[in-house]
Amino acid sequence: MKLSIESLSLAYGPVTALRELTADVSGGVIGLIGATASGKTSLLQILAGQIAPSSGRLQIDGQVVPPGKRGGVAYVPQDVAAFPYFQRPKETMSLALALKGVPASDVPEQFLAALGLGDDDRSAAGYSAGMKQKARIAYAMLHTPRLLLLDEPMTGLDIRERFRVLRLLDRLRSLTGIVFSTHLPEDAAAVCDAVVILDHGQAVACGSPSEITARAVGHVFETSMPLEHLPRAQHWDVVRAERDGNQLRLRVVGSAPPDARLVAPSLTDAYVLLTRPESSP
C-alpha cells in the first residue's frame, strides 16, 4: 500500500487541525505517531471519508481519493461506546453477515479462533480491554476491507494486551492495508513498515522506523544524577527516568548533560527529538 498526502489542510472554524500536511509512505502497516491534538484522528477521519479536507489531496496506490464516503474502508474509532458488548462475538458476527445476506451459520469459526476469541463463549461485556479491542477489529475485518483504519487501538491496554493486539495487526497485514494511530512510538516500531510523525497538524518526519530512528544518532544520552537534583534543563528532554538508590538514572534526548554517555537511539528517542520546539536534526 502506498499512501501519498499532498498539502492536506483541515480547519474547524478558527481551529486548524491539519496544516499543509505532506507525506509519502509505503507498507502493509503504517503508523501515525503523535501527541493528543497532533492531527492523527483528523487524518484518519479524512481517510475514512467521514470528513472532507479544507484543501489538499490523498492518493492510495497512485489513485486520487475523492472526499466523501469510502468503499472498502473500515474505520475503528477510539470511542467504544456503540459496540454491542452484551453479545457474544459469534452473535455479533452472525448478525453482521445476515445483514449482508450471508447465512449466519457461515460465521468462520477459524477466523474467531485465529483472533483468540473462538473458545470463549461469554458475552464481550466480560472481556478484558484487549479482548474487547480484538473483537472490534474482528468485526471490522468481517466486511473484508481493503483498508483498515484504527484510532489508538492500544489505548488503555496493559503491556501483555498491547502486545497481543500488535501481534493481531501483524497477522492481518496479509489481508488488508492497515493505518493506525498511536502516541507510543514503540508500538509503531513493533509492527509498522512506515510511520508518519505528526506535530501540531504537520508531518515532521515520515519513512521507515529505522530511517527515522537514524535521525536521532548522536542526540541520545544516558546519565545519573543525585535524587535531590531533579533535572530542569532546556537543552534536553527526559525520555526515561529510574530511581537507583540515591541516584536517578536518566535517558535524555538533545544536548549532552554533564557526565553523560552517548547511546544508540530508538524510535521513541527520535520522536521526542523531532517534536522538540525548533528541532531540525
Residue 199 maps to a domain:
yes
Residue 188 maps to a domain:
yes
Q: Are residues 85 and 199 in the same domain?
A: yes
Residue at a domain's end among 178, 213, 248: 213
Strands (E), the chain: 2-12, 15-26, 29-33, 55-60, 63-65, 73-76, 147-151, 177-182, 194-199, 202-207, 220-226, 236-244, 247-254, 261-262
Q: Are residues 223 and 199 in the same domain?
A: no
The whole-number pLDDT of residue 134 equals 77
Residue 259 maps to a domain:
yes
Residue 15 maps to a domain:
yes
Q: Are residues 91 and 30 in the same domain?
A: yes
Q: Are residues 178 and 232 in the same domain?
A: no
> If you average pLDDT over every residue of the chain, what do you get?
85
Task: At 148, give phi and psi (nearest 5°).
Answer: -110, 120
With 90 as the cut, is the pLDDT of residue 100 above it? Answer: no
Q: Which residue has the higher pLDDT, 96 or 258?
A: 258
Q: Are residues 248 and 144 in the same domain?
A: no
Q: What is the mean pLDDT of residues 53-77?
A: 84
Q: Are residues 89 and 180 in the same domain?
A: yes
pLDDT band, very low/low/confident/very high, at 116 (cuts 50, 70, 90): low
Q: For residue range 223-233, what is the model confidence (pLDDT) as tens digits? A: 998 877 666 66
Q: Which residue has the higher pLDDT, 160 or 124?
A: 160
Rounded distance between C-alpha atoms, residue 213 and residue 209, angstroms:
6
CB distance 32 to 26 below 8 Å: no
Residue 278 maps to a domain:
no
Q: Give the CATH number of the domain where residue 97 resides.
A: 3.40.50.300
Q: What is the mean pLDDT of residues 174-179?
A: 93
Structural domain of 125: 2-213
Q: Are residues 79 and 144 in the same domain?
A: yes
Q: Are residues 163 and 25 in the same domain?
A: yes
Q: For residue range 244-280, what is the model confidence (pLDDT) as tens digits? A: 888 889 999 998 888 899 999 999 999 999 998 865 4
Q: Are residues 225 and 205 in the same domain?
A: no
Q: Are residues 206 and 116 in the same domain?
A: yes
Q: For residue range 83-94, what is the model confidence (pLDDT) as tens digits? A: 666 676 666 666
The number of distinct structural domains making up the chain is 2
Q: Are residues 160 and 102 in the same domain?
A: yes
Q: Are residues 131 and 150 in the same domain?
A: yes
